[in-house]
Chain A
Amino acid sequence: MLGLIIWWSGIVLESLLLVRGFQAKLWARYPVFYAYILFVWLQSLLRFSIFHSRPQLYAPVYWITEWLGVLIGCAVVFEIYRVGLAAYPGTARLARNLLGFVFVLASTKALVGVWNDPQWWLILTTMDLERVLRIVQALAIAALMVLFFFYSIPFGRNLRGVLLGYGLFIAESVIWLTLVPYAGEKFHQFWYHVHPASYFAVLGVWLIHLWSYLPSPEPRGAVRLEEQYQRVAAATAQRLREARGYLAKAVRS
């Protein structure tokens, strides 16, 4: 009964998040994030119906949808980078290099694994692969956040919520996927309660931060640049007027 309540509560919160996203037109600003939430919502409904109508199909449906979720999640990380650094081309370039480095490092490690043990790929389970991808996402988010720290990139409430909620979700997923093969029955029971609780917390963070649209603070550098440009333009116009005056005097004399 408790499991059923948890399941339905999650679906209700996701629905609310989607409704608010469409009402506040946030989906147009964060299309990948809302596509992800829509996917998770559909996935929850599908899993629920399969679980009750055809339980024998639940495992393959679970892993296929889980995999699709991981892939769309990668796109969410990219959207955080794209929206957060849209006004900072220099930092964005640095972030691109940093993210590239993280992905190259992960790919190299995977290739070395295959090189040393060609059977590695065959014995790898779906859960192992998901764990690896989640870890890469965790490192990418951490690297992005360190960069945001370093350059003091200001965040709007909406993007802060997306990043915070998704970061928490990824951290929890990595811990869960890492400890499951090692832990015993007690841990499974403990995490059975922690997992939905943390997911509710994530949905709560998203709902609070994405209830309405709040614009991200504009970088003051751009404003100053415009001011400086106007100042230079005014000074140039003044000098041109003076020059025209001198020229007129010279012609008259």
Chain B
Amino acid sequence: MIGLWGALAAAVVLLLVLLAWVRTEAWSKDSRSDWGVSDQEQGESVEACSPEIVSQLFSARDSKFISGLESPGLKNLFRRERTAVALHWVQETSAFISKIMRRHLEASRLSADLEIATEAKILLQYAQLKLYCGILVVLIGLLGPQRLAGTALYAERFIQRIGEGLAEFQLAAQLRERDGSESL
């Protein structure tokens, strides 16, 4: 049977997800974009932000400055706007990751010597990043962006690393393909 703590954990998880959903729905109403569609709408222009912008977006410095002005209205507006921008960043980042993955799949499906271990590793990293984005959305909804600077920067660095890795992988695959066709 499901024990006392298991049952309470299920209830708390449901309450937290509900709370995060309500807050995210309210804040991202205006800035919402369908992840899959935004990529298409903007063509291939989705690019990852620089770490400086991410650091600025999630930094507590601006929040402290606004708090110093002692205007509750301004503070609320700032918090709402910053949360909407942070959520938009996560959505765009998620779209960027999907684009990298799609490119990888397009490149790798042509490759004759696919390595299952490498593919599984890439898929796992992709899933990990997507999960990270999902968790970030929930945490931004619950805590606000100011407390997540470290987490966001970690995600950003991770994405850059994977992006570079995949680009190298694609280049290697293309070179292999070209060498193969030349040797025929």
* B2 partner, pick from A135, A146, A154, beta carbons under 8 A: A135
* Chain B residues touching A, majority SS: helix
Determine whether B176 belongs to the interface, using a CB cutoff of 8 Å to chain A. no
Residues of B within 8 A of A141 (CB): 14
Of A36-44, A46-54, A174-182, A229-237, the one contacting chain B is: A174-182
**Which chain B residues (1-39) contact chain A, with CB distance < 8 Å?**
1-2, 4, 6-8, 10-15, 17-18, 20-22, 24-25, 32-37
Structural contact, A138 and B14, CB atoms closer than 8 A:
yes
- Kindly report which residue of chain B lies nearest to residue A154, judged by CB atoms: B32
Structural contact, B35 and A151, CB atoms closer than 8 A:
yes
* Chain A residues touching B, majority SS: helix
Determine whether B134 belongs to the interface, using a CB cutoff of 8 Å to chain A. yes
Residues of B within 8 A of A171 (CB): 11-12, 14-15, 18
Structural contact, A220 and B14, CB atoms closer than 8 A:
no
Q: How large is the interface on B (under 10, 10 to 19, 20 to 34, 35 or more residues)?
A: 20 to 34
- Kindly report which residue of chain B lies nearest to residue A143, judged by CB atoms: B17
Chain B positions within 8 Å of A, measured between CB atoms, are 1-2, 4, 6-8, 10-15, 17-18, 20-22, 24-25, 32-37, 40-41, 91, 130, 134, 137-138
Chain A positions within 8 Å of B, measured between CB atoms, are 109, 113, 120, 124, 128, 131-132, 135, 138-139, 141-142, 145-146, 148-152, 154-155, 160, 164, 167-168, 170-172, 174-175, 177-179, 182, 219-221, 224
